[in-house]
Amino acid sequence: MTKVKGKARLVILKEVASFSNLTTCTTMAIDWIGFGYAAAVALGGFFGYKRKGSVMSLIAGLLFGSLSCYGAYLISNNPKDVKLSLIAAFTLTVVMGMRFKRSRKLMPAGLMAGLSFLMVLRIIFLVL
C-alpha cells in the first residue's frame, strides 16, 4: 500500500468526502395508512363475496383495493402524486355514500363511505 503525504492526501480526502455526499440516499416514507386502506377495501370485497355470494362486491373490492394500493405506492415514491388515490377514494365515497343513504345500514356501506371520506380528507391535507 502506498502512503500519500501532504497536499495529495488532503485532495484525496476531499474527493472521498464529496463522493460520499453524492451517494447518500434519502429514505422513502411508506404510505402505511394508504396501504391499510387498500387492504380494508379489498378485504371488504372479499368478505362481501364470502358472506352474501356477491361477485360484484368481490370484483369492486379487488379493483378499488388494487387501485388504492397502487396509489399508496405512488404516494410512497412521490408524496405529491395523489391523483389515483384521490380518484379511487372519492369514487368509493360517492358510491358507498349513496348506498348508505338508500339503505341506512352502517355495514358495509356506511363504514366504507366514512373510511373513504377520511381518506379523501387525508389526501387533500397531504397536498397542502
Q: Which tens digit of pLDDT belongs to each residue from 37-60?
A: 999 999 999 999 999 999 999 999
Nearest alpha carbon to residue 82 among 40, 118, 124, 121: 124
Q: How many angstroms separate the CA atoms of 108 and 23, rounded?
A: 49
pLDDT of residue 15: 58
pLDDT of residue 47: 95
The domain of 46 spans 32-127
For residues 35-52, one letter each, b for 16 or more C-beta atoms within 10 angstroms of the residue's C-beta and e for the rest, the string is: bebbebbbebbeebbeee
pLDDT of residue 1: 56
Q: For 67-110, how does the pLDDT look when each residue is reduced to its tens digit (9 = 90+)? A: 999 999 999 999 999 999 999 999 999 999 999 999 998 988 99
Q: Is residue 59 part of a domain?
A: yes
Assess whether pLDDT exceeds 80 at residue 125: yes
Angle at 60 between CA 30 and CA 94, to 5 degrees: 80
Q: How many angstroms separate the CA atoms of 75 and 38, rounded?
A: 13
Q: For residue 87, what are the CA distances in angstroms to 28, 100, 120?
A: 23, 20, 9
Predicted TM-score (pTM) of the model is 0.77
Q: Is residue 25 part of a domain?
A: no
Nearest alpha carbon to residue 90 among 113, 109, 107: 113
How many folded domains does the chain comprise? 1
Q: Is residue 75 part of a domain?
A: yes
